[in-house]
Chains A and B, each alone.
Chain A
Amino acid sequence: MKVTLFIPCFIDLCHPNVGMSIVQILEQLGHTIDYPEELTCCGQPAFNSGCWDEARDVAVKVVERLQDAEVIVIASGSCGAMLKVFYPELFQKTGCEQAAKSVANKTFEFSDFLVTKLGVTDLGARFPARVTFHDGCHGLRELDLKQQPRTLLSHVRDLELLEMSEAETCCGFGGTFSTKFPMISSAMGDGKCASAQETGAEYIVSNDSSCLMHLQGLLDRQGKPLKTIHLAEVLTSS
């Protein structure tokens, strides 16, 4: 299958390993990768701030470039939700409505693509550590990604998954919210980290790098030993 990969800006800049891991996994499974280098952002920051015109100007490039793709894989539940759930609304009653819907229909978040679309659950990975899983809200509630990442983790050798009580509670990132209301955002993040820590896990794993970026930022500032890692990186460990 020819898989078109969408790498969001924060993964490109700060967590390129996540993208590389996804490339590695998909290629090992025998797929070819089409990576549109000119695409950087789905437009979500503007969209979430109410600036839908600016969001549309960015998103339209994405729609135009991706509408003919066979299948689109995106490395973040949050940006995935933007393409799958919000593009059709953003382009409602515009010339791009149909194209946006077709992009939405063939977009998969990375773990969903592996488990639901390909039926792949075991990638032969080994990650000897205690981990806890953080459900990113967009992935969980907009895309219904509760089971897929856990299915993948359950096949990783030597990995112990310890569920935290607050797994489904928002970590407080929320895109621009995190800098507009930093104290609320951080208070929420602290709650999340505390819940993760209670499990005795060494790592917080998630399928959303944006949440992890926020949590890692808090942990580093507070000098806590807990680490964060993206699911794709766990799946390429051996």
Chain B
Amino acid sequence: MTTPVHQFHTDANRAAQDLQQRAQIQSALSSYETACEARKSAFRDWESARQTAAEIKWDAVNHLDQHLREFADKLESRGTQVHWASNEQQARDIILEIIRSNNAHSIIKSKVMTGEEIHINEALEKAAFDVVESDLGEFIVQLRREAPYHFVFPAMHLKRGEISELFNRELGTALTEDPEELTMIARRVLRDKYITADVGISGANFAIAETGMISITENEGNARLTCALPKVHIALLGIEKVLPRLRDLALFLPMLATAGAGQALTCYNSLYGGPRQPDECDGPEEFHVVLLDNNRTQLLADKQQRDALHCIRCGACLNVCPIYRSIGGHTYGTTYQGPIGSVITPHLRGLQDWKHLSSASSLCGACTQVCPVKIDLHHHLLHNRRNAVIDKPVWREKLQFAIFRSVMNRPKLYRFCVRIGRLMQPLHRLVDGTRLDPARGWTQTRKLPRIAPQTFKDFWRNRK
């Protein structure tokens, strides 16, 4: 079996040389970039908005137990069934059990990243349920049987022509490059599904503790239909989604829209606080909220990196990340791609298996600069690297840095090494850039800098 690290290296090497893919990412994000900047300037002060948001999330996360209890109590008081899932398996079992007990067959989903995290589609399909994604991007990647490329823009890697061909192949529709028409094709397929679906599964962008409501923001209106039409609505969300008060949305909704998509506000913002009440004429008969831990509490216990739970999944850190933009979303092999994925995946799925994502960064800090809730992303990558070494040192690296330490701390040895280096330079030319080159990591793509005939230390000594 290929390990995640091996897979990552192979895919990253290929993707980094795939100029077409890079151009596609560039063009997919270019209008976002301009819009996002323009939207930020609509805030009186974006920086202080970030600060406030970070403080609110700090409170939410540092008093998570209280907020979650309040959230659950309020929901239950209106007849919602709240479920607590410690891990993927439990979450899947809970959802399957709800579906089975309702004798349901067909399921419609709106975008839910926690669903990707627990591999719910695979579980539902294995149990012979009919499941269809209603978010256009998710619908497309589901048809392609692949994972989302970006947790906000799942089908960002595809050109219109490719989507058209996919629809033609899978749905038998005529080829078209017209985006409106492509959307209409998906809508036509989905319309029937909304009506016939027994269960709607959604995620949540925020969980409001004060009122016991989940908040969902979307641009297509599909989540509203998913949540309202079927008899049963299941919302699956991570425990970190909590916001203490309803009024916090006044900041977080425009902030998420701005950072996530360069919009003033996402088109549809809905709050769900319970199943259909006796005096109401519509809405689901049952409303289930599944709260997922899946190692989030482990991250919560880590004082230094706890702020990673502030994340509102806006995707801004992916959009600005030069690594993401060079290797694309699928290379990560994770539910959450980009900087935030590299920070949290080692916590969620195991440090040793996923530490390579923290190493695959130049630590440029562009992510930290844009994160609306001020997560110290690039420093956490450093912390993951340190923790991985403490947890399980890699002897080759240890040896390397033991040598490094003795050379750097012993001026005579350093001078000796410089002399050796000078002698080796002419020989190096023979192997430069080839497989025999010990410096191939550098020379494969770059010329090696030469040791100057007179180093600075030589210069200084001569001068004295």
Binding site for B on A (CB under 8 A): 7, 9-17, 19-20, 35, 37-38, 40-41, 43, 45-52, 54-55, 57-58, 61, 137-138, 141-142, 168-170, 172-175, 177-189, 191, 213-214, 216-218, 220-221
Contacts and interface: CB of A to CB of B under 8 A. Distances in A.
Contacts of B408: 9, 40-41, 43, 58
Which are the 4 A-B pairs with shortest beta-carbon distances?
A: A174-B362, A217-B446, A179-B441, A50-B385
Contacts of B360: 177, 180-181, 184
B449 interface: yes
A188 B459 CA distance: 34
5 contacts: A12-B456, A37-B461, A173-B362, A177-B360, A177-B362
A182 B17 CA distance: 11
A54 B442 contact: no
Interface in B344-385: 359-366, 368-369, 382, 384-385
Interface residues of B, number: 60
Contacts of B369: 141
A220 B447 contact: yes
Nearest to A11: B456
B447 A217 contact: yes
B397 interface: yes
A182 B444 contact: yes
B34 interface: no
A177 B397 contact: no
Q: Which of A48, A50, A181 has the most C-beta atoms of chain B within 10 angstroms of its own C-beta?
A: A50
Q: Which of B17, B327, B439, B446 has the most C-beta atoms of chain A within 10 angstroms of its own C-beta?
A: B446
Q: Which of B388, B405, B408, B411 has the most C-beta atoms of chain A within 10 angstroms of its own C-beta?
A: B408
B16 A186 contact: yes
Interface of B: 9, 12-13, 16-17, 22, 322-323, 326-327, 359-366, 368-369, 382, 384-390, 397-398, 401-402, 404-405, 408-409, 411, 414, 418, 421, 439, 441-442, 444-452, 454-461
B388 A50 contact: yes
A46 B405 contact: yes
Given A16-B456, A37-B460, A41-B408, A174 B363 contact: yes
A188 B454 CA distance: 32
Given A46-B405, A58-B405, 6 more contacts: A19-B456, A137-B362, A178-B442, A184-B16, A221-B445, A221-B446
A185 B17 contact: no
Nearest to B432: A221
Nearest to A180: B359
B446 A180 contact: no
Nearest to B445: A186
Contacts of B439: 179
Nearest to B383: A50
Task: Determine chain B's interface SS by DSSP, over half rule.
Answer: helix
Contacts of A52: 386, 389
Given A7-B456, A15-B452, A51-B401, A177 B411 contact: no
Contact of A14 (B388, B414, B451): B451
A198 to B, nearest CB: 14
A169 B366 contact: yes
A186 B411 CA distance: 33
Q: Which of A16, A35, A168 has the most C-beta atoms of chain B within 10 angstroms of its own C-beta?
A: A16
Contacts of B387: 50
A40 B414 contact: yes
A221 B445 CA distance: 7
Contact of B446 (A174, A175, A187, A214): A214
A16 B459 contact: yes
Contacts of B452: 13-17
A15 B452 CA distance: 7
A180 B445 contact: no
B377 to A, nearest CB: 11
Contacts of A45: 401, 404
Nearest to A57: B405
A61 B409 CA distance: 8
B143 to A, nearest CB: 30
A221 to B, nearest CB: 5
Contact of B327 (A16, A184, A217): A184
Q: Which of A11, A58, A61 has the most C-beta atoms of chain B within 10 angstroms of its own C-beta?
A: A58
A124 B404 CA distance: 40
A216 B444 contact: no
A45 B22 CA distance: 29
Contacts of B384: 50
B403 to A, nearest CB: 10
Contacts of B458: 16
Contacts of B448: 217
A180 B409 CA distance: 24
A173 to B, nearest CB: 7
B368 A141 contact: yes
A54 B401 contact: yes
Nearest to A38: B411
Contact of A191 (B12, B13, B322, B454): B322
Nearest to B387: A50
Contact of B17 (A40, A49, A138, A187): A187
A217 B449 contact: yes
Q: Which of A49, A61, A186 has the most C-beta atoms of chain B within 10 angstroms of its own C-beta?
A: A49
A7 B323 CA distance: 30
A169 B322 contact: yes
Contact of B322 (A43, A172, A186): A172
A151 to B, nearest CB: 22
Given A12-B455, A181-B12, A187 B447 contact: no
Contacts of A185: 362, 445
Given A7-B456, A37-B411, A187 B362 contact: no
A15 B454 CA distance: 10
A48 B363 contact: yes
Contacts of A38: 411
A78 to B, nearest CB: 10
Given A14-B450, A181-B12, A218-B445, A187 B411 contact: no
Given A11-B456, A40-B411, A48-B363, A216 B449 contact: yes
Contacts of A61: 409
Contacts of B327: 184
Given A13-B452, A14-B452, A19-B456, A170 B404 contact: no
B16 A187 contact: yes
